[in-house]
Amino acid sequence: MQMSEENRKQPDKSAKTGRDQHQHPRSAQNLRFRDLGESIIESLRPGVVAFDRQLRIIQANSQAGRLIDLDEYIDRSLAKGTDANVWGNWTQSLKSAITTGQKSDFKAVRYNFDGKKRLLHIVCTPLKESRTQKVIGGTVVIEDVTGKVDIEHQLAQAERFAAVGKVAGKVAHELNNPMDGILRYVNLAIRVIDRGNLEKATEYLQQCRLGLMRMVQIIGELLEFSRSTYPPFEYTPIDQIIKDAVKAMESAAKRIDIEIIRDCPDDMPRFRGTGLFQVFCNLIKNAADAMEGAGQLKITMRRSDNFLEVEFHDTGRGFEPQNAEAIFEPFFTTKTHGRGTGLGLAICKDIVEKYNGKITARSVPDRGSIFTILLPLTQEDSPKAE
């Protein structure tokens, strides 16, 4: 049946709802294409969020709501689950993207939401008006790359552990030098003892001791990294463990002003000190290296109902913020070649996690580095324990 001219001009009101009520009749076909586009966006695996120049969210697909904690504004939504010390100010980053008209790419963003930790790949693209090309806002595409990054991380770990063979060669070379020196000095000591020159023999034995200490340091780092358990020792107040560590590192930190701050009650919690002593020694040594032997180190203890926090704040050169997690990986080092094996902080992380604790790092611009250890107090022994 042929439609009358009047019927043909009548807009199809059934196709219009809500925001489309004021749409011109001739755009009905465009409306259907737009609905199709929205359906496609809704079916995508990545999350998609559109926002205006004030960063207010104007539309988001359901996947975006599953990946991040959506707020009224996109910058607040991203800031909710990320560490500002690592990823900085999202407001500035997103506004910069839409102001410059350039795409911004944020890879492997660690995001905590709904009790889950995800790694997200976030891409921000300016949104332009089709006719004038004026930037009217932006879009954020969010992809969950946790599985992909986990696989890449496993491969990277495999490569690092495959490098143990190369490290072993380096260790053998490092051990060979002090061993050769020790044998030489032992032979010299034997000769001068036969002649009754005990003063010279003492000097040679001291040189042997220095060589042995260097060997113990090299072997100790590798042994501690591979060790799965630590020998049991008596429970010790945490401040005493820190004092012992500071005293043990006197030679490495003799030009450093070390201040111990007890921001907690008089009764200090007790821990099995073997592993934590090593962690504290390592952090003091790292601080000394970062400050090149001179500077200030504040060691602060804070206690809550369930946790003890120990913070090491040095005035050294710091590190790149994006390396805040990588520095705890085996063989990763920010030190110059030949000054570190890259195992120290990996060992610290391994030990702290055996206490069911957590260690984190952040770099403070122009103020050095802060390493924070969080230890649960459920393992604390009673004050009368031997």
Cα-only R_g, the chain: 31
| Domain identity same for 361 and 251 | yes
* pLDDT computed for residue 343 by the predictor: 67
User: For the whole prediction, is pTM greater than 0.85?
Assistant: no
Write b or e for each residue in 270-284: b if 16 or more Cβ atoms lie within 10 A of its Cβ, otherwise e.
bbbbebbbbbbbbbb
Please tell me the total count of domains within the chain: 3
Inside any domain, residue 386: no
Query: What are the respective helix, strand and coil percentages of the chain, to the nearest 5?
Result: 50, 25, 30
Inside any domain, residue 365: yes
| Domain identity same for 243 and 213 | no
* pLDDT computed for residue 249 by the predictor: 82
| Domain identity same for 313 and 198 | no
| Domain identity same for 27 and 139 | yes
Which 3 state secondary structure label does DSSP give 358?
strand
| Domain identity same for 81 and 191 | no
Rounded average pLDDT per 10-residue block, the chain, 386 residues: 45 41 43 64 86 91 91 92 82 85 83 87 88 87 82 61 58 74 89 86 88 76 50 70 86 83 78 78 87 86 86 86 76 52 74 87 81 79 35
| Domain identity same for 299 and 342 | yes
Inside any domain, residue 18: no
CB 258 within 8 A of CB 292: no
From 226, 261, 276, give the residue that closes a domain: 226
Inside any domain, residue 7: no
Which residues, 6 or more positions from 141, have their beta carbon under 8 angstroms from its beta carbon?
A: 46, 47, 48, 122, 123, 125
Domain with 57 in it: what CATH number? Answer: 3.30.450.20
DSSP string computed for 279-319: HHHHHHHHHHHHTTT-EEEEEEEEE-SSEEEEEEEE-S---
- For residue 188, the enclosing domain spans 163-226
DSSP string computed for 18-77: GGGTT--GGGHHHHHHHHHHHHHHHH-SSEEEEEETT-BEEEE-HHHHHHS---SBHHHH
| Domain identity same for 248 and 346 | yes
| Domain identity same for 42 and 131 | yes
Domain with 307 in it: what CATH number? Answer: 3.30.565.10
Inside any domain, residue 4: no
d(CA 225, CA 218): 11
Inside any domain, residue 362: yes
* pLDDT computed for residue 310 by the predictor: 94
From 145, 172, 193, give the residue that closes a domain: 145
| Domain identity same for 257 and 369 | yes
| Domain identity same for 262 and 341 | yes
* pLDDT computed for residue 78 by the predictor: 93
* pLDDT computed for residue 135 by the predictor: 86
From 208, 226, 244, give the residue that closes a domain: 226
| Domain identity same for 189 and 141 | no
| Domain identity same for 221 and 129 | no
CB 11 within 8 A of CB 28: yes
Inside any domain, residue 3: no
* pLDDT computed for residue 141 by the predictor: 93
Which 3 state secondary structure label does DSSP give 348?
helix
* pLDDT computed for residue 335 by the predictor: 53
Inside any domain, residue 15: no
